[in-house]
Amino acid sequence: MTNPLLDFSGLPHFDAVTPDHITPAVEQLIAEATEAMTRAEAVAPVAWDNLVVPLEAATERLGRAWGVVNHLQSVVNTPALRQAYNENLPKLTAFWTRYGQNQALHAQYQALVRSPEYAGFDPVRRRVVELVLRDFRLSGVALADADKLRFSAIRQELSTLSATFAEHVLDATDAYALYIDDEAELAGVPADVIAACRAAAEREGRSSYRLGLQMPCYQPVQVHAENRELRRTLYLASIVRASDLGPAEHDNGPLIERILALRTELAKLLGFATYAECSLATKMADSPEQVLAFLQDLAVHALPYAQAERRELEAFARDALGLDALEPWDISWASEKLKQESYAFSQQEVKRYFTEPKVLAGLFEVVQTLYGLRFVPDEAPTWHPDVRFYRLVDADGHMLGQCYMDLYAREGKRAGAWMDVCRNRKRDGRGLQTPVVYLVCNFGRGVDGKPATFDHREVVTLFHETGHALHQLLTEVDELRVAGIAGVEWDAVELPSQFMENFCWEREHVLGMTAHVETGEPLPSALFDRMLAARNFQAGMFTVRQLEFALFDMRLHSAFDPANDSVLALHRRVREEVAVNPAPDSDRFPCQFSHIFSGGYAAGYYSYKWAEVLSADAYEAFAEAPQRTGEIGARFRREVLSRGGSRPAIENFHAFRGRDPEVSALLKSSGMTA
């Protein structure tokens, strides 16, 4: 039987891939890529067609096959799949390290720069060569042989540790269950969440309600449950996941210490003083000091608002809710009560209007309005019955790319929301290969035959991930290395995603994507007005929470001394500096901080706020334009979305906006201006 992971003629065969296919596919593709690398070392005279093209063809096949495995590991994690993944991850890491440290290959690229052909390269191909040479340097190509071996060992161990970190968080989350027998204890919890908890218990043969720590259950309980002890129980269980305060087999504490030590050693091998400096070599920001100054400047603006919001919440909790002390498990609940009191607005009330079919139709309508493009239902093998598949077409019906959409939470699926690349765009002798993406969320599914409903924050999340997908799908670059999000600086990659969030607040779009789950009526305009008035409710507290994560991350990777400090102590100090909502001593947030320990954001979490400056400023151009769509949408697509990594992100922004980004737009959109 043909191995489905080795078939690149079309879309992945998700309905046929099994864990047994992984090892033979990986070994064959690594062997083929190694052969291509050996041939490339010897070609002369060196040229684009005999060096870059065959190397990219071989490594792309390896990357696409492993991308399928990596995706399955995230969305349908099983013991057999996990075992095969972990057995093959070191092989991939070893290959890419050998590739990056190949001096003969590096010399061939240097020879390409010196060749007569290079003078005729267009800017895109020059950018490809520039980034390849940078990556050789960051892979340790110039190291002595002994240091190369050590560098390779570090990369191997880090890849394993990162995968294990994510597994611990997933397993600790999935392992927790709280069973409630009396529905009265769930007073205030939305009916659809109660129904889902009842269904979860029934699947286990119980007649009670099964509560867990996955977001579709945990978040509504924190926001709506009147039972304070229930909120407390789930909160305290959540903050100790994957730590020393839980089962030893899930404890990420030792992994964090080892990851940090290895990152520091790796950075110093490459000649950087800290891992933060190493990380920033591929980003827009110039130095850790620049990032810290940026974050601290935002803190100066945001902290007074956050402190005032905390005082207001404490007073409300005391005077209106009868809480002498506002505990951490009260904050979301009390905030929701205050929002209802202040704006006559409730996320739960609004959620009844954001039904999944209307939200998706509204999302697709925004894409058509902005860019003249349509998402059309399509067919493809999938990994789960929940998954939908679409193609994106232009006004003439020509396909630009395709998108898998997996919206619901389930056991064995990594938490959070993300977009990832299934395959990238390229043009070669066989024609044009169009991009394909995964768009993954973790929303609650519909119950009792009703469609799923989303609160507005989930709608924003869906738009955010669609922004990432459009960045990939709308690329017009034909070189793999810089098409779509490839080659885009990490602190700029959130620009298109955060930009899309703004359209969740525009009246014409919001009202058009709503239909009450019971009556089918659209969201009343008066309710939208109250929702809009509450848009920046507690924006200060949200901002300092993000600054807490970003400052902790950057200081951890730039100024942390493990001999005289601890990770938890550093986190507490950062919280004392910018946080306004205290956390218990049992808080073990670093043990769950997957973004920086297993998700690629190490010394890069600041990217969310950095890119938010870019996105807020970009959206102002739309707000200022007399014609909201048409030319302005075409220019954003042309100068930002279609360019991918083919030129530096700041040049994309300059081409669109005509100037440097300004932080004032972010402060204005967040309501943090005088």
pLDDT of residue 673: 83
CA proximity to 424, closest of 489, 494, 497, 483: 483
- Residue 304: half-sphere exposure toward Cβ, Cα within 13 Å: 7
Reading the block at residue 82, the tokens are 């996990």
Q: Is the dihedral of CA 455, 457, 462, 466 positive or negative?
A: positive
Rounded to whole angstroms, how far apart are CA atoms 483 and 488? 9
pLDDT of residue 492: 96
Q: Model confidence over 448-472: pLDDT tens digits?
A: 899 999 999 999 999 999 999 999 9
CATH tag, 4-142:
1.20.1050.40
3-class SS letters over 3-38? CHHHCCCCCCCCCCCCHHHHHHHHHHHHHHHHHHHH
In the beta sheet, which residues pair with residue 392? 375, 401
The residue from 167, 336, 465, 479 that is catalytic is 465
pLDDT of residue 674: 66
- Which residues of 417-514 form beta strands (DSSP E)? 418-423, 426-428, 431-433, 436-443
**250-345+538-605 with 356-533: one CATH topology?**
yes
Rounded to whole angstroms, how far apart are CA atoms 179 and 340? 30
Would you say 265 and 579 are in contact if contact means Cβ atoms under 8 Å apart? no
Q: Where are the alpha helices (DSSP H) in 204-252?
A: 215-224, 228-238
Cα–Cα distances in angstroms (integers) from residue 36 to residues 31, 59, 126, 443, 456, in the given order:
9, 9, 22, 43, 50
Cα–Cα distances in angstroms (integers) from residue 377 to residues 113, 182, 357, 361, 443, in the given order:
45, 43, 13, 11, 21
Rounded to whole angstroms, how far apart are CA atoms 671 and 674? 8
Q: Check if 465 is active-site.
A: yes
Q: Model confidence over 341-398: pLDDT tens digits?
A: 999 988 889 999 999 999 999 999 999 999 999 999 999 999 999 999 999 999 999 9
Q: Model confidence over 386-406: pLDDT tens digits?
A: 999 999 999 999 999 999 999
Reading the block at residue 270, the tokens are 């490459």
Would you say 183 and 239 are in contact if contact means Cβ atoms under 8 Å apart? no
Which segments in the chain show pLDDT lower than 70?
1, 626-629, 674
Helices (H) and strands (E) in the chain, counts: 26, 9
CATH tag, 250-345+538-605:
1.10.1370.10
Reading the block at residue 237, the tokens are 């269980």
3-class SS letters over 147-183? HHHHHHHHHHHHHHHHHHHHHHHHHHHHHCCEEECCH
157 CB-near residues (< 8 Å, 6+ apart): 258, 262
How many other C-beta atoms lie within 10 A of the C-beta of residue 386?
Answer: 14
pLDDT of residue 627: 62
360 CB-near residues (< 8 Å, 6+ apart): none
Rounded to whole angstroms, how far apart are CA atoms 173 and 648? 39
How many other C-beta atoms lie within 10 A of the C-beta of residue 520?
Answer: 11
In the beta sheet, which residues pair with residue 432? 427
pLDDT, averaged across the chain: 96
Q: Which fold has domain 356-533?
A: Neurolysin; domain 3 (1.10.1370)
Reading the block at residue 44, the tokens are 């002369």
Reading the block at residue 64, the tokens are 């696409």
Q: Structural domain boundaries of the chain?
A: 4-142, 176-240, 250-345+538-605, 356-533
